[in-house]
Amino acid sequence: MGKGQNTETITKQLDTVVSQLQRKNAKVAFFVGAGISTNCGIPDFRSPKTGLYSNLRKLNLPYPEAVFDIDYFRKKPKAFYTLAEELFPGKFVPSKFHYFIKLCQDKGILKRCYTQNIDTLERIAGVSDDKVLEAHGSFCGNHCIECSEEMPREKLRAFMDQKKIPTCANCEGYVKPDIVFFGEALPDKLWEFWEEDIDDIDVAIVAGTSLAVYPFASLPAEVGKKANRILINREKCGDFDTNPRKSDIVLLKDCDIIAELLCEKLGWSEDLEALWLAGNKSVRGKPENEVEPSSSQKDKAAATATEIAEKVEAGLEYDKNEEKNKRDKVKNKENDEDVDVLAGVVKKISIT
């Protein structure tokens, strides 16, 4: 049940986690990454062969992360919007782990959910706005990068449906979702929440993240000493690997499977299944007997990364053609101006 972990060991660890969650007035904080969304069919960014950046590396980009670089966006926004079209909320159903977070809220033990994900699936699962902190932003809001004018999601979606780059009605600047790009500051709210939470957490659950992106990666290391830290992941990472605490619990297994096992021991299994099936029916319109298992969705995530890269490549070609058209227009305008000047000179000579 995970590399180096037998069934007996992981069962004991799960029992310990359950006892921590059942303590009176327990305050639980989650620190989550892309690994909780791959079971939804969303590719992660950093997996060596199947991740989004690995696929984007094959394209004519300055570097894979350029799609999320604010300076690159100003010059070539089409690449980002091609990717955004594929990841836009409404296509994906929250995973069982997302609904496990929701159940922690329903049971009154959720202090906060800090997420690196931009997919808004925590909110779609029903986690309250005041309980979710999207450290890297999300698709929840949209603003002009020049004047900060807000654009409703429906209007931005209309631009995207027409294959147009969303532009501001106020200043004609580009509009983008409130995703934090390289070159932009993290939301102030992150530090406001963290100052409030850092010493008020009893159980810190870190799940589906490589803890490779700072400053988010430092949060589990900074959590107060009274907190019991739990890692649910495919492999050890971050502070759990380099500077572990004696009380740390490490569960090296798929996040959804751990969510199911914990809910079984907590007596929440029926609630979890009901939430997940309702979510599938709401988003996909599928009856219970047609719901795809999360494992098949994870397989789709790798294929989706390849598909997105191919569409981004087409977007880059679009940007290239647009640049050429702009240059041609400028050149034609300059030629027209030169002709007008020449005509004026000829006219003066003729009059003379």
Is 148 known to sit in a ligand binding site? no
Is 267 known to sit in a ligand binding site? no
Nearest alpha-carbon partner for 69 in 224, 167, 180: 180
Q: Cβ neighbours of residue 49 under 8 Å, at least 6 residues apart?
A: none
Q: Which helix (H) or strand (E) holds 261?
A: helix 255-266
Is 36 known to sit in a ligand binding site? yes
Known catalytic membership, residue 136: yes
Is 44 known to sit in a ligand binding site? yes
Burial (CB count within 10 angstroms: exposed 0-12, middle 13-18, buried 19+), residue 348: exposed
Give the dihedral of Cα atoms 65, 69, 72, 73; nearest 10 deg: 120
CA distance 250 to 252: 6
Is 171 known to sit in a ligand binding site? yes
Both structure tokens of 232: 């649910």
Is 34 known to sit in a ligand binding site? yes
Is 255 known to sit in a ligand binding site? yes
Residue tagged active-site, from 76, 112, 136, 176: 136
Both structure tokens of 98: 């997302």
Cβ 134 vs Cβ 37: under 8 Å: no
Is 55 known to sit in a ligand binding site? no
CA distance 43 to 50: 8
User: What does 33-93 look like in DSSP terms, one character per residue?
Assistant: -GGGTGGGT---S--TTTSHHHHHTTSSSSSGGGGGBHHHHHH-HHHHHHHHHHH-TTS-P
DSSP letter (8 states) at residue 291? P
Is 113 known to sit in a ligand binding site? no
Is 38 known to sit in a ligand binding site? yes
Both structure tokens of 124: 């779609």
Cβ 141 vs Cβ 178: under 8 Å: yes
Is 235 known to sit in a ligand binding site? yes
- Cα distances (Å, whole numbers) of residue 187 to 180, 184, 191, 193: 8, 9, 8, 10
Is 295 known to sit in a ligand binding site? no
Is 112 known to sit in a ligand binding site? no
Is 241 known to sit in a ligand binding site? no
User: What number of residues does the chain have?
Assistant: 352
Q: Cβ neighbours of residue 256 under 8 Å, at least 6 residues apart?
A: 39, 95, 96, 97, 294
Catalytic residues: 136
Q: Which residues are annotated as a binding site for Zn(2+)?
A: 144, 147, 168, 171
Q: Which residues are annotated as a binding site for NAD(+)?
A: 34-38, 44-46, 116-119, 209-210, 233-235, 255
Q: Which residues are annotated as a binding site?
A: 34-38, 44-46, 116-119, 144, 147, 168, 171, 209-210, 233-235, 255
